[in-house]
Amino acid sequence: MRPHSLFHFLVTLSLSGATSAAPSPLKLRQSIASPRNWVDLGRAPPMHIIPLRIALPRPRFPELEKHLAEASDPFHERYGDHLSKEEVEEFLAPHASTIDAVQEWLNGHGIQEEACHRSPAGDWITVRVPVSQAESMLGTEFRVWKHAQDGDVLVRTTEYSLPAHLDGHVELIQPTTAFNRAKRQRTSFRFSPTLENTSLLPSDAKITVPGSGVTVDASCNKTITVSCLKQLYNAENYIPHAVNENAIGLTGYLEQFANFADLQQFYADQVPNAVNTSFDVVLINGGLNNQTLSEAGAEADLDIQFGLGISFPTPGTFYSTGGQPPFIPDADTPTDTNEPYTEWLDFILAQKHIPQTISTSYGDDEQTVPEDFARRVCQGFAVLGARGTSLMFSSGDGGVGDGNPDPATQTCFTNDGTNQTKFIPGFPASCPFVTAVGGTVHIPEVAVDFSGGGFSNFFPRPIWQDLAVTKFLKSLPKGTYAGLFNPNGRAIPDVSAQADFFRIFFQGRAVHIGGTSASSPSFAAFVALLNDARIAAGKSSLGFLNPLIYALNGNGFNDITAGNAPGCGTPGFNATAGWDPVTGWGTPDFGKLKNIALGY
């Protein structure tokens, strides 16, 4: 811990202009070990601007969580009773005494009310200050850090302090100790001139899926299309009816642009009825919509093409959120904006109307996120669930490991300074208020070998997971991977879908692409169709899915019982009968799920 000397207090006084009151003693609020794989490049420039986000406690959040549990429980009389934007904000509002105490502290540093950006519920305050002032406010030293493998650059500190009298009034302040990034899952590409120059041809050959009676074109074992997924997941004949009331959203970060021209080629290739239709683009936090074909993003194209292709004609929105590494903190790029999840949450929660289904194919290792910050972001996802939105996140592409595609070189060590060997769960997939989507491959389906899965070290196992996960853990031979994972943690994934050999159009070319980046928007598209069926029947959207999924005990899903996802130098877990931490409950049977969804 760095000493908080008289010099710090004098700097505070000079920056704030305060002359009448002595500064309150500072109390250490958080301290972390130097993060693994990050290189300290030295002091941050004093005039570099940091957008400090101050989280105020939400004393009524347990009430909102109780409401969410009831509205998501298919056996509860309030099932489907979602909250409005205004009702949610009442549950999130901080105490007036907290607002006053924090504003008084900010005033003491020369930050007046008009310089504070407050969230609609008042539970977040954002202030933009230079590094020199942030260091004085937080009794710390900000430094420039560069990721040793990816080259990403962040301005962060490894500890910060706050006046003791703010205990109970400030939950956390970021970006300070958060070294997480919104990383694309490690999608794989297979460019093929043969694939480029051929169109899809109908095939008379069929594959019968054992146990389901479903038949699928034999070509689907080599190339996954919209038609393949609709055949495989029993949705070929469904026609959406609530297209004026239902919507699907796909999120994009890191300057991943969804290209309109690529979508038209995809539609002509796979969804001809959709040709000349498009999607809305919403720009957040300086996000862009670059339609230069060479700037198209494979991740964004994949999400949009399959998310909208499966759910057509359900209206779709692509959220392009700015803030990406690498950035160099200098006079030309003075602001670090790499807080995309919270920027997106700020925006979406401020909207009166939001899509009933949203998919995200980004994540990072859970351990790169300070636990208090992970919990706060996870609460934001719970709020979306309370408003009736189903959130899907890809479970990751590293099996039980750190996402390195080569298991032999994975570094599965904790970054808390102890360097213990541990499996590495992903976040936000580990948040219990999102539905984590793993991956399968081939027909009949088996677990794809990169499907992310495991057990959270931050979030305890929710009650709705108890029976399924406990059953799986009891099936493991005694001592299996003892000490490598937290058996009491929230388990992922919840479900899965096909995750490889997807045919998309990228920068004008037909290519194959794979990853749980493919499974999440695909699963989400079928959820959007389920919401369509419910809304057309005069019912509410499904909202937070997990309590329903686990209550079904596998009903409505194709159980995946073969395959495994290795990592950390181990074979990882196996796909088994029932729930497992590779494929969850399995892949969707839309026909069965639609009948179930309409029954509640």
State the binding site for Ca(2+): 559-560, 578, 580
Cα–Cα distances (Å) from 187 to 104, 170, 410, 513, 543, in that order, read 48, 39, 17, 7, 28
Told to judge if 303 belongs to the known catalytic residues of this protein, a careful annotator would answer yes
Q: How far apart are CA 262 and CA 254, in angstroms?
A: 19
Cα–Cα distances (Å) from 517 to 188, 391, 432, 443, in that order, read 10, 14, 19, 19
Catalytic residue among 16, 72, 390, 517: 517
- The alpha helices in 367-410, defined as continuous H runs, are 371-386
Contacts for 212-216: CB closer than 8 Å, 24+ residues apart: 212/558, 212/589, 216/443
- Contact predicate 277/240, CB 8 Å: no
Six-digit token string for 473: 């853990």
Closest CA to 391 of 341, 362, 434: 434
Told to judge if 301 belongs to the known catalytic residues of this protein, a careful annotator would answer no
Q: Which residues contact 167 (CB under 8 A, 6 or more apart)?
A: 27
> Annotated binding residues, as ranges?
559-560, 578, 580
Told to judge if 517 belongs to the known catalytic residues of this protein, a careful annotator would answer yes
Six-digit token string for 364: 């990072």
- The alpha helices in 387-489, defined as continuous H runs, are 466-475
Q: Which residues contact 578 (CB under 8 A, 6 or more apart)?
A: 468, 471, 472, 554, 559, 585
Residue type, 275: V
Residue type, 394: S
| Backbone torsion region of residue 42, taken as left when φ is above 0, otherwise alpha when ψ lies between -120 and 50, otherwise beta | left
Q: What is the DSSP letter of 513?
A: E
Taking the CB of residue 537, how many other CB atoms lie within 10 A of it? 12
Taking the CB of residue 211, how many other CB atoms lie within 10 A of it? 9
Six-digit token string for 392: 């899907």
Strand-pairing partners, residue 188, are: 514
Cα–Cα distances (Å) from 593 to 82, 224, 436, in that order, read 20, 22, 18
- Contact predicate 161/4, CB 8 Å: yes
Give the up-direction half-sphere exposure of residue 559: CA atoms within 13 A in the CB hemisphere. 12
Catalytic residue among 299, 301, 397, 449: 299
Handedness of CA 73, 79, 84, 87 (dihedral sign): negative
Catalytic residue among 171, 217, 303, 365: 303
**Catalytic residue set:** 299, 303, 517
